[in-house]
């Protein structure tokens, strides 16, 4: 009987072997560190400076050993938050998933106001400059390309040095009340054009009432370009 008991027990690894093979808090910490460092190296190629720190992992953590390479990914966009979570998952016979927290600061060049800007002011390069800022300090995002915001309008007054964010800008009106416009009635690839007059202000993508100068009918059209609107063909 004792021989049988010995053989049965010998089929199972001891608790100490399981402990040696387990994925520990230290392993999780190292995985997250490598993941963030690789990501930080890529950001450096974009002229961004990264400072990060992995959150504490419970030292009592014991997970099954990972048979293959674990997969790591951001749960939230680190460019939008300084506290992104990292999902670490492992497939296999005993799969597991867990989350690690991190503190991430991303520094890079962004557009800021070179002087006070007033509501409704159209942006020019003279009113703007660039400065190194923490890009993920705000969930509203930052702007980095001067060319894409030239001619945009400021929604509300801002002070010198304010980091410009997308919500501070709006597209100028492409059509103003009284403007003569081209009305395009379109159905697939076929279209017919006529002349009209705008009865309100609107930017590209917005709808506006226009008067057809030939028929005197009032139509609701979508602005597709300065001086040009479209309606679906009836």
Phi, psi of 148 (to 5 degrees): -75, -15
Domains of the chain as residue ranges with CATH? 2-106 (no CATH), 107-170 (3.90.1210.10), 180-232 (2.30.30.760)
| Rounded alpha-carbon distances, angstroms, from residue 197 to 103, 204, 205, 210, 229 | 55, 16, 18, 5, 10
Burial category of 17 from C-beta neighbours within 10 Å (exposed 0-12, middle 13-18, buried 19 and up): exposed
Mean pLDDT of 153-174: 91
CA–CA gap between residue 204 and residue 202 (Å, rounded): 7
| C-alpha–C-alpha distance, residues 213 and 109, integer Å | 50
pLDDT confidence of 2, banded at 50, 70, 90? very low
What's the confidence (pLDDT) of residue 15?
Answer: 41
Q: What is the pLDDT of residues 107-129, one digit of tens each?
A: 999 999 999 999 989 999 899 99
Q: What is the pLDDT of residue 188?
A: 80
Q: What is the DSSP letter of 67?
A: S
Q: How many CA atoms lie within 13 A of 215 on its CB side?
A: 8
pLDDT per residue over 46-90, tens digit each? 999 999 999 999 999 999 999 889 999 999 999 989 999 999 999
User: What is this structure's pTM?
Assistant: 0.66
Tell me what the mean pLDDT of segment 17-26 comes to: 71
- State residue 141's pLDDT score: 87
Exposed, middle or buried by CB within 10 Å (0-12, 13-18, 19+), for 48?
middle
Neighbours of 214 (CB within 10 A): 10
């Amino acid at each position: 009987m004792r021989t049988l008991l010995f053989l049965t027990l010998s089929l199972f690894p001891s608790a100490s072997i399981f402990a040696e093979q387990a994925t520990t808090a230290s392993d999780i910490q190292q995985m997250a560190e490598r993941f963030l460092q690789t990501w930080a190296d890529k950001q450096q190629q974009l002229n961004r400076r990264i400072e990060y720190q992995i959150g504490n992992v419970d030292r009592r953590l014991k997970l099954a050993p990972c048979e293959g390479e674990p997969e790591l990914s951001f749960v939230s966009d680190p460019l939008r938050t300084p506290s992104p979570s990292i999902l670490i998952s492992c497939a296999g016979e005993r799969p597991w998933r867990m989350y690690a927290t991190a503190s991430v600061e991303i520094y890079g060049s962004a557009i800021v106001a070179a002087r006070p800007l007033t509501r409704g002011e159209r942006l020019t390069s003279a009113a703007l400059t660039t400065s190194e800022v923490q890009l993920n300090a705000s969930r509203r995002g930052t702007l980095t390309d001067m060319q894409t915001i030239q001619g945009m309008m400021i929604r509300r007054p801002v002070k010198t040095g304010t980091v410009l964010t997308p919500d501070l800008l709006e597209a100028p009106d492409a059509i103003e009340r009284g403007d003569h416009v081209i009305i395009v009635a379109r159905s697939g690839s076929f279209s017919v054009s006529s002349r009209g007059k705008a009865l309100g202000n609107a930017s590209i993508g917005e709808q506006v009432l226009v008067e057809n100068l030939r028929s005197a009918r009032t139509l609701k059209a979508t602005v597709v370009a300065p001086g040009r609107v479209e309606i679906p063909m009836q």
